[in-house]
Amino acid sequence: MKEKIKQLKNDFFNEIEKISDLTALEKIEIKYLGRKAGELTKILRQLRDLPVTERQEIGVLANQLKKELAQKIREVFQLLKNQASQSAVFDVTVPGLKPTEGHKHLVTQAIEEIVEIFERIGFSRRRYPEVEWEWYAFESLNMPPNHPARDEWETFFIDLKPVGPKGQRILTPHTSSGQVREMEKGQLPIRMINISKCYRRQIDISHVPMFHQFEGLLIDQQVTIADLKGTLDYFVKQFFGSNRRARIRPSHFQFTEPSFEVDVSCGLCDGQGCKMCKAGWLELGGAGMIHPNVLKAGKVDPKKYSGFAFGWGVERCYLMKAGLSIPDIRMLYQNDLRFLNQF
């Protein structure tokens, strides 16, 4: 029986070396390992007729051979399969696999739309540093050293103490710091829209520590509140939709006089009151006529020129846009593709 097993092994390996296709390989597998009439199967069936001592020894040899044959068949199968795939003819008519197509982030889309809206009425986009001098962010905007906005709990300070004539360096808390920078160019009249990142120590359902703000600035002769009101109404209708309502409330800002808060009816509840808005209205930001002291800081004659300014958060504006139902501003920056792919 040992000689028979040895001869079977030699015959198998001699035959399988000559195999050149999968069909022939399948025939050899059936010939040697087939359950009904395989050559090795026949030997295993004869074990019951052998003496007990010989049966155990022959059984071990037969099972070991079975594993060797099965392993060799698997190796040859993989080799023939790889050869077949490499020699396959490429069909140029088969449709290709399209790569995943991305799109701009929601905030980028909003910024581009805002810029386009204001460009229609003559505003040009400007950009100013995210790391700003304290003087441009506060003092030039008529904010004295003891103003609450200059507290370290409200502003991210880079320096522990002043490092130059314009004070400490900070992460700009608002795009209003670009107002005097624009005036210093000495190119009047001014119609500027400044969109940039801002940083504040706030985070909740409607605030994030880093956000985008756009600053509108118009300086010319004989500019009035009527010009400001018309500009605000124009933007609200263009960006939010004709069915949304806006309101202006008297307020106070150091760099404008008079000053206003601009609100828009909530798009989630249609002004009825919800978790996002609390009372049916969402605050866009501040607006007002430029304070004479700010004009003087920018070397503009307040007796000859007047102007208005407004500053709103891009993310907050987008959350209030018609047709959207984004309940938490922080979702914009969680990088969850399940959310971002919807827009």
Q: Where are the beta strands (DSSP E) in the chain?
A: 124-126, 131-133, 169-171, 190-199, 210-220, 246-253, 256-265, 281-290, 306-313
Cα gap 128→183, rounded to integer Å: 13
Distance CA 31, CA 112 (A): 72
Tokens 């624009």 map to which residue? Answer: 182
Of 121, 17, 9, nearest in space to 69 by CA: 9
CA atoms within 13 A on the CB side of 240: 24
Q: DSSP characters for 190-220?
A: EEEEEEEEEE-S--BTTB-SEEEEEEEEEEE
To the question of whether residue 261 is assigned a binding role by annotation, the answer is no
- In b/e form, how buried is each residue of 163-188, taking b as 16+ CB within 10 angstroms? eeeebbbbbbbbbbbbbbbbbeeeee
Residue ranges of the annotated binding site are 257
Residue ranges of the annotated binding site for Mg(2+) are 257
